[in-house]
Amino acid sequence: MSLKDKLTSLLFGSQHHPLSNEEDGAEQQYTAEAAPENPEAGDPNPALLELPAEHPIYQLYNLRRTETGYLPTPRLCLDEDKDLPADMMRRETNRLRVTLSSMCNARLKQARDKDKRGKSGKKKEEEADGDPLALDASPQFFLSADKLYAWVIVFPPVGAGEELNREMLYQALVVQGITYGVDTHLVDRLSRDEKKYFHMFLIAKGKPAFDGANGNIVDYFPRTVVRTLEVDEFDKVDYTALNLIHNVKQGEEICRLIKPTEGEPGRTVLDQEIPAKSGKAVPLPKGRNTEISEDGILLLASIAGDVEFTGRSFQVKPVLDIPGNVDFSTGNINFLGDVNIRGDVLSGFTVRAMGNIQVAGVIEAGSTVEAGGDLIVVKGILGDGNSIIRAHRSVFSKYIENSTIYVRENLQTDCILNSQIYSDGEVLVRSGRGTIMGGRVWAAKKVSAMIVGARSECRTSIALGGLPCTNFEREIVQQELKMLEMDLEKVECQLDSPGKSGLLDKTRAKLAVTELKLRQLEGELADIKIEAEGKNNGRLECGIAYPGTEINFGDEMLRLRHESRQCVATLVQGEIVLT
């Protein structure tokens, strides 16, 4: 069979004719019934493109193999070394599937057009000048969607067409506009490669753009302070280990700024620039008593004190360090920052601070302590029934006895004896003795203790839910109101004088302000009572609850008549349930 007849049979759908033994007894054309050997069958490489046997690339492959007698099986793999991202390769192989069909169909159309011209009755002398079916080798390029990679697949010549050579490949690259990142070593050797036809080669690689890194802050002090005491294997708590005060010296670094970096532009294989974004700058979290260094990199403490993060910025609160006791040598303390007392707070003295208060010893009877932050008492609080302790965060103490404690968050201690506790969070008495005996403990969320009450059946009240702190404030305001009313009566009983008129006005003004404050607190309590209706607010968890223990949920009250172990008390549908 002549070359022309073979091509006509292949391109225009005539029946398959195997090669004669004289031409090649071993080779057969590729057909849909006999796919070419693929040693990589089942290859998990996502860059490998598998095509059906009827794809037009195999028609071109059969034509070339008919002419030469031997041709390596087509292999369409975009990344032989598997260095490129797998997800990108999956996208690109899907694009290649469509593009390759268009390339192969265009090549077949060129062959058909040549064949038609060969049958159009040209003069024999024109046919003698050259084979009308001749097509030179044709490099075809496939670019990735981002134009960062370019692959080449070479279609072999048809008939007497010219084989692939170095100059042909370079010229095709220039025509396609692929001028950046070209693999010149591949271009130089490809024309001599045995598998130069019907194989994909990565011929050019661009330079990806790299966005700049955003600025960042490196902190040397914690932004979040976890105020939790750990219980060791001996059921003991080290109350000195809380370390809520983070001391800083004047001029010491609080945090450091890492400046953003500039983006690095990239380049496509078409020698087009890929823009890159620069990183975003972040400001230093400058707060009260801090300053920024001259180079704008460091945040420094402008005074010595305690570092605290307020949510938006670092600030330095001054720390008042008392080397001994709070007594006549120091007097009462009223400080805007943190107070660190290395001794005791003696009876009759007052300590107030806007920040945290840490007492290494005890708080004695008759003293008053109020902390705007946390209160840590390493040894304990020993009152006489008149001691008032207030903390706007949490309280941590070894023990609490005969004291009134007001705490906005949680309270943790080893023992509570005959005290009045008001907590808007949880009361945890699980370490050490873990006993609540006598008095009243009122927590909004939970009371957890090992022992509640005593064998002597002393009255111990546990109240849950509501707003204990607001209720406590209301009681204080009510007491202030009674005192002002008594003062007003005394002033009104005095003889008329210029001083009496001014004193009356001053007392009445205080009375009006106190009445307004009382109405506001009562309004808050009424609102929380309405919200709490139908809800299970709070719970009691204890190992042992002795008779004499009272459990209150609002107006509901349960008095234990018998000893209960491992019990949990909750409010279910308006009734107290002990399980």
Decide which of 183, 205, 227 is a domain's last residue.
Answer: 205
- Within 13 A of 217's CA, how many CA atoms are on the CB side? 20
Do 545 and 442 lie in one domain? The reply is: yes
Task: Tell me if residue 192 falls in helix, strand or coil.
Answer: coil
pLDDT band at 90, cuts 50/70/90?
confident
Q: 485 in the Ramachandran plot: left (φ > 0), alpha (ψ -120 to 50) or beta?
A: alpha
pLDDT for 244 equals 66
Round to the nearest angstrom and report the end-to-end CA distance of the chain: 98
Cβ-contact 429, 436 below 8 angstroms:
yes
Least confident of 18-27, 139-148, 194-203, 438-447: 18-27
Q: Where a domain ends, among 294, 317, 340?
A: 317
Asked if 279 and 356 sit in the same domain, the reply is no
Using an 8 Å Cβ cutoff, are 439 and 462 in contact?
Answer: no
Same domain, 60 and 186: yes
> Does residue 493 lie in a domain region?
no
Give a yes or no: residue 169 inside a domain: yes
3 state DSSP class of 250? coil
Please choose, from the candidates 345, 473, 361, the residue with its C-alpha nearest in 3D space to the C-alpha of residue 407.
Answer: 473
**What pLDDT score was predicted for residue 143?**
92
Q: Is residue 488 situated within a structural domain?
A: no
- Select the more confidently predicted residue: 559 or 38: 559
Mark whether 547 and 403 lie in a shared domain: yes
Residues 226 and 311 occupy one common structural domain: yes
215 with 186, same domain: the answer is no
> Do residue 90 and residue 140 come from a single domain?
yes
CA-CA distances (angstroms) from residue 533 to 143, 424, 447? Answer: 69, 18, 20
173 has pLDDT over 80: yes
Q: How many domains are there within the chain?
A: 3
User: Does residue 210 surpass a pLDDT of 60?
Assistant: yes
Task: Write down the mean pLDDT value for the chain.
Answer: 82
Portion of the chain with pLDDT greater than 90, in percent: 33
Q: How confident is the model at residue 21 (pLDDT cuts 50, 70, 90)?
A: very low
Compute the distance between CA of residue 468 and CA of residue 478 in angstroms, rounded to an integer.
Answer: 15
Residues 289 and 243 in one domain: yes
**Among 30-34, 189-193, 413-417, 435-439, which stretch is predicted with the lowest mean pLDDT?**
30-34
In DSSP terms, 436 is beta-bridged to: 416, 452
d(CA 43, CA 566): 62
Question: Per-residue pLDDT for 59 more than 50?
Answer: yes
Structure tokens of 104? 């192969």
Task: Band the pLDDT of 22: cuts 50, 70, 90.
Answer: very low
pTM of the shown model: 0.56
**Is the pLDDT at 197 greater than 50, yes or no?**
yes
State which of 170, 185, 205 marks the end of a domain: 205
Q: Is 345 exposed, middle or buried (0-12, 13-18, 19+ CB in 10 A)?
A: buried
Q: Give me the phi and psi of 327, to 5 degrees please.
A: -145, -155
Residue 149 domain flag: yes
Residue 262 lies in a domain: yes
Question: Is 281 in the same domain as 410?
Answer: no
Give me the domain span that covers residue 310: 211-317
Please check whether residue 432 is in contact with residue 237, taking contact to mean a CB–CB distance below 8 angstroms: yes
pLDDT of 119 reads 57
**Which tens digit of pLDDT belongs to each residue from 352-401?**
998 899 999 999 988 999 999 999 999 999 988 777 899 999 999 999 99
Q: How many residues in the chain?
A: 579
Do 273 and 346 lie in one domain? The reply is no
Q: Is residue 91 part of a domain?
A: yes
Phi, psi of 259 (to 5 degrees): -70, 150
339 and 464 inside one domain: yes
Higher pLDDT, 23 or 503: 503
Is residue 46, in this structure, part of any structural domain at all? yes
* d(C-alpha 155, C-alpha 161), whole Å: 11
Q: Residue 321 CB: number of other CB atoms within 10 A?
A: 12
| Cα atoms found within 13 Å of the Cα of residue 418, Cβ hemisphere only | 9
- Cα torsion 533, 536, 537, 538 to 10°: value is 160
**CA neighbor of 405 nearest in space, from 414, 542, 40, 418:** 418
Name residue, tokens 């007894």.
25
Residue 99 has pLDDT above 60, yes or no: yes
| CA–CA dist 168, 159 (Å, integer) | 18
Q: Is it the case that residue 282 has pLDDT exceeding 50?
A: yes
380 shares its domain with 313: no
Confidence of residue 114 (pLDDT cuts 50, 70, 90): low
228 confidence band (pLDDT: 50, 70, 90): low
Residue 498 lies in a domain: no
Strand pairing category for 539-545 and 319-322:
unpaired
Residue 325 vs residue 20, higher pLDDT? 325
* pLDDT above 80: residue 526: no
